[in-house]
Amino acid sequence: MKDYYSRGDAITFEVIESIAEQKLVTRIADKNLPFGGTWTYEIAPDNRGTTLTITEHGEVYNPVFRFISRSVIGHTAQIDQYLIRSERGWRF
């Protein structure tokens, strides 16, 4: 599966674990990127409906990109934007 971005870039992911209606684990499959890692999505019922927990285990291979990620962009920038987009899309 691919995740597309506003500039037309795409990242290919592979599913490494899937439990219907409970858990999905994906890994970046593109070995040519300066970063990689896994994303784990876990869904569980709670008192208000459902809780979605997203855990990212990322790696940044290139030291220059690692510096930019930490000092300029911020390590949580992508997941923060993902959560904002997800919340907008899941409102009823």
Q: Which phi-psi region, left, alpha or beta, contains residue 78 (left: φ > 0; alpha: ψ -120 to 50)? A: alpha
Tokens representing 82 are 């993902």
How do residues 56-73 score in pLDDT, each as one tens digit? Answer: 898 888 888 788 777 777
Distance CA 54, CA 73 (A): 20
What pTM does this model have? Answer: 0.71
CA atoms within 13 A on the CB side of 48: 2
How do residues 20-70 score in pLDDT, each as one tens digit? Answer: 989 999 999 988 888 899 999 999 988 888 888 889 898 888 888 788 777
